[in-house]
Amino acid sequence: MYRLLFHCTDILYDSFPEKLRERIQGNLATIEKLNEHVRQVEQQNSILEINSRKLLHKIEELTKKLSEKEDEIGMFYVRFNNETDAFKKCIVQKQSELDDAKKYSDVLEKELHKWKMQSGECLLEQEKGQDHCPSDGGPFMLSIPNHAIQVELADALAKYEQSMRQISILEEKISTMEAESQCLGSLRHELQALRSRYENLLEAHGEKIERVEELELDLADLKKLLKDQVII
């Protein structure tokens, strides 16, 4: 259209007065400047559209990653809470078992002391009996209760040793659980840091979305301006 206008202008140029020719030249120069400006704006518009598409693609990827991380954090948080509750219950249970074992051990110690005292008294009685009753039947009859006490004493000692082993095992388990509980506390701290980072990413994501919306508005205004200039 502009070339046709230039061609017609060249044909009629010589027939116009001097002032009119100067005016036409000025208008043509203005049109040429406007055309150059339109080309520059269209080029900038194309670059903006490309950058906008790239930015939107990055935002979509970031949104997807954030959603995946959110799901992952949620699952980890639930599992972490469940494991923490389970460890706490287990520690309480083991502590209760340890307390019961210690009480049982105290009872066995008292019984052991009792059997030792009875055994000592029985030996004293046996020695006295041997002094007063040197017959063959006397020592044998006195050795019977002594033998029964020795059996009960051995049984009490075995139970006491078993109880002490059980206490040692329970104390070791509780120590291990306390270490695991400390590890869970460290994981809880890391989880809080991860949540804080996630919230920062969400905030940055919102700012990027606002920036894209601003660019889209600027792009729409620029297109409208170009359309108005072409119409003029």
In angstroms, the CA 130 to CA 140 distance is 10
Q: Averaged over 12-17, what is the pLDDT?
A: 52
Residue 2 confidence class, pLDDT cut points 50, 70, 90:
very low
Neighbours of 137 (CB within 10 A): 8
The whole-number pLDDT of residue 6 equals 47
Q: Which residue has better confidence, 62 or 131? A: 62
Domain boundaries, the chain: 2-231
User: Which of 86, 73, 70, 98 has the alpha carbon at shortest distance from 175?
Assistant: 98
- For residue 228, the model assigns a pLDDT of 67
Residue 48 has, within 13 A of its CA and on its CB side, a CA count of 19
For residues 71 and 86, what is the distance between their CA atoms, to the nearest angstrom? 23
Q: Which residues, 6 or more positions from 212, have their beta carbon under 8 angstroms from its beta carbon?
A: 52, 55, 56, 59
Q: What is the Cα–Cα distance from 165 to 171, expressed in whole angstroms?
A: 10
- Distance CA(39)–CA(45), nearest Å, equals 10
Residue 100 and residue 92: Cα distance in Å, rounded? Answer: 12
Is CATH 1.10.287.2610 what the domain over 2-231 is classified as, yes or no? yes
Report pLDDT digits (tens) over 162-197. 777 777 787 787 777 777 777 777 777 777 777 777
Distance CA 94, CA 81 (A): 20
Residue 134's pLDDT band (cuts 50, 70, 90): very low
Say whether pTM exceeds 0.75: no
Q: Which residues, other chains included, contact 220 with Cβ-Cβ below 8 Å and sequence gap of 6+?
A: none
Averaged confidence pLDDT in the chain:
69
* pLDDT, tens digit, 9 for 90 and up, residues 39-84: 887 787 778 778 777 777 877 787 787 777 777 777 877 877 787 7
Beta-strand ranges (E) seen in 92-214 are none
Confidence of residue 116 (pLDDT cuts 50, 70, 90): low
pLDDT at 114: 72
CA distances from 218 to 51, 55, 223 (A): 13, 15, 9
Q: At 121, is the pLDDT very low, low, confident or very high (cuts 50, 70, 90)?
A: low
What residue type is 148 in one-letter code? A
Highest mean pLDDT among 95-99, 147-151, 183-187, 220-224: 95-99
